Amino acid sequence: MKSLWNDNEAAQYRGDLGLRVYTSRLLGRDASLVLHGGGNTSVKIKEKNLLGEEETLLYVKGSGWDLETIEEAGFSPVRLDHLLKLARLKTLSDPQMVNELRTHMTRASAPTPSVEAILHATLPYKYVDHTHADAVVTITNTDNGRERIKEIYGDALVVIPYVMPGFDLARLCAERFAADAGPQTRGMVLMNHGIFSFGETAKESYERMIELVTRAEEYLQKHKAWNLPEASTKPASAPMRKDIAALRHDVSMAAGFPVVLSVHGDPASLAFANRSDVKKISQQGPATPDHVIRTKRLPMLGRGVAAYVADYKVYFEQTAKTAREPKTMLDPAPRVILDAELGVCTVGRSAKDAAIVFDIYEHTMQIIQRAELLGGWKALPAKDIFDVEYWDLEQAKLKSGGKPPVFAGEVALVTGAASGIGKACVESLLARGAVVVGLDIQPMIETLFDRKDYLGLRCDVTDEFQIQQALERAVRAFGGLDMLVLNAGIFPAGCRIDALSTHEWNKVMRINLDSNLVFMREAHPLLKLAPKGGRVVIIGSKNVPAPGPGAAAYSASKAALNQLARVAALEWGGDNIRINSLHPNAVFDTGIWTDEVLAARAKHYGLTVEQYKTNNVLRTEVKSRDVAELAAEMCGPLFAKTTAAQVPVDGGNERVI
């Protein structure tokens, strides 16, 4: 492990707190040290209060902040004297401790201080760094982990047995540190938890952390427990989307709400899932209880990030067998599922949550396998994991989590999503909490949004194979399909029937009608497995009820699509799939309506551009967002008992009315 300290970078940070921010971010850059909000850092600073009195404050990382992106505002200033007095108490409940931390800050707007604030306060150093370094956690999670730690570090580290984070740990650390620390002490190890380093400067504390972790990595290399075996299994090449969607449906039913399920078929995941001893090593618990806390933020709580080895068809039976101790920990909705063909499947209430679970489990797999090579993986007893799962502070977080978005855990797919109504539909669905797959023939679809809950795929909707591949990729990314918005289409130049070529007719039919038949047929098995029932929204046209001259191919294609939707509504009602159509008209904020075209059309009718845009009964302009908002609502609870509806979005058209 190399130090990332850079003098030029460090010079941009001012004062003790600024340098605390800098080295915290350096730690946060390395996922083998810190993952998703884990780890803690602090600095002790003397300041004058409003009365001019000098007092020492402990600036400790606040709850909800991530070391990789933390700012000065992310550190909570707590009066050090009060923390040291608390450390001398014999008992202090967790709710009382949090209250004391919050009521003795000097900035009311600061985040709640870390539960390790008292521990940081008792360590007699200006700067304190705490990480969950993979290499150290690997060594401590073996049968003779304590002896190995002593072998590596000698008297340079104080070794603390595992105690759940909070007041009891702080008190134990204060006692042990006072008894065991000496001039040679450079850090502290918490068994099955992590490692501390200290220093009088930010640089000293940070580089001690790097040096201490490097020694652990070198120890693993020396004992041939660093390099992991490569995978011999290749990802499944056959379509797996129906099986994956069925798995996600079952997990959602067990959880009680829709979930995102992401499939990771990378070589490392496949190698772990195909180990002969995977059932044994995957069921012992997380690498560190802190990982339980991090994933605890997901509403569907199980046994931390412990994997559930499962054939899709029998995984409930498997989890029941492997999760009986203690009984109250049994939860049939896993967060991690291992499968020999798929690799690692991770589950979350959102795409971000599922990604966090994988990040954590990716490191857990490495830790487990290295510990096995070192002599045998040994996690904490189930009771200790249970204590963290049902910790008062964690239960309080869950109760204060708030109501999830209406489409939380649900997956939508939108065609023709690169611009206009399609892009607006993506935005409306994302705003309601859905994860969205956007398809378009334009390459820009792939980078339209840079976020975990969006997947943009280039797809020619006239190519049946590309449609199938897009659905496969969508399901592997998010687990299934709940909502389908069929928007892709073309509006050709005006042409009377007596001049309409067969080629032009077929082209319009292939895009506006045939492709949607393929989408509906291929998506049907997935929509049947939607936890809340499948939903399809057809973006039709005013030309369905009121065709115009010169638009024979377009009007016929949209009318045929409308009829297809009506038949599907009849056939699919028993599968709990509802299908509704929107008929927009005169939506001008799309790519085909340039300023020049608008001006020309308005002039043709003897209107100004503004008059032309609002040439309807309500004299209102219809925009892409108006259509998209109604499309999203059609997928929501307001339309839960409606299917085969046809709703105009046109400001009122006299011919339609």
Write the CATH number for 170: 3.40.225.10
Count up the domains in the chain and report the number. Answer: 4
pLDDT band at 310 (very low <50, low <70, confident <90, very high): very low
pLDDT at 385: 54
pTM: 0.88
- Please state, in angstroms and rounded to a whole number, the distance separating the CA atoms of residues 597 and 426: 26
Question: Is 2 inside any structural domain?
Answer: no
- Please state, in angstroms and rounded to a whole number, the distance separating the CA atoms of residues 653 and 649: 9
* 419-435 pLDDT tens trace: 999 999 999 999 999 99
Residue ranges making up the domain that contains 437: 411-587+623-649
Question: Is 218 inside any structural domain?
Answer: yes
Same structural domain, 426 and 486 = yes
Q: Is residue 281 classed as helix, strand or coil in its secondary structure?
A: helix
Question: Is 633 inside any structural domain?
Answer: yes
Say which of 22, 127, 206, 554 is annotated catalytic: 554
Same structural domain, 340 and 192 = no
CB under 8 Å to 579, separation ≥6 — which residues?
Answer: 535, 536, 537, 538, 565, 568, 569, 572, 643, 644
User: What is the chain's alpha carbon radius of gyration, rounded to the nearest angstrom?
Assistant: 30
Same structural domain, 446 and 515 = yes
Q: Which CATH number does the domain housing residue 574 bear?
A: 3.40.50.720
Q: At what angle do helices 515-527 and 464-478 cross, to 10 degrees?
A: 30
DSSP state letters, 588-612: -SSTT--HHHHHHHHHHTT--HHHH
Q: Which residues of 183-211 are buried (b: 16+ CB within 10 A; e: fewer)?
A: eebbbbbbbbbbbbbbbeebbbbbbbbbe
Q: Is 361 a catalytic residue?
A: no
CB under 8 Å to 93, separation ≥6 — which residues?
Answer: 167, 392
* 431-442 pLDDT tens trace: 999 999 999 999
Residue 554 clears pLDDT 90, i.e. is over it: yes
Tokens of 99: 């209250």
Residue 235 clears pLDDT 80, i.e. is over it: no
Same structural domain, 143 and 170 = yes
- Please state, in angstroms and rounded to a whole number, the distance separating the CA atoms of residues 480 and 261: 8
| Final residue belonging to a domain, choices 222, 250, 267 | 222
pLDDT at 308: 42
**Alpha carbon 78 to its chain's center:** 32
pLDDT at 289: 65
Residue 355 clears pLDDT 50, i.e. is over it: yes
* Residue with the larger pLDDT of the pair 254 and 397: 254
Same structural domain, 168 and 121 = yes
* Run of H or E residues at 469: helix 464-478
Same structural domain, 160 and 88 = yes
Residue 521 clears pLDDT 80, i.e. is over it: yes
* Run of H or E residues at 347: strand 343-348
- Please state, in angstroms and rounded to a whole number, the distance separating the CA atoms of residues 120 and 149: 22
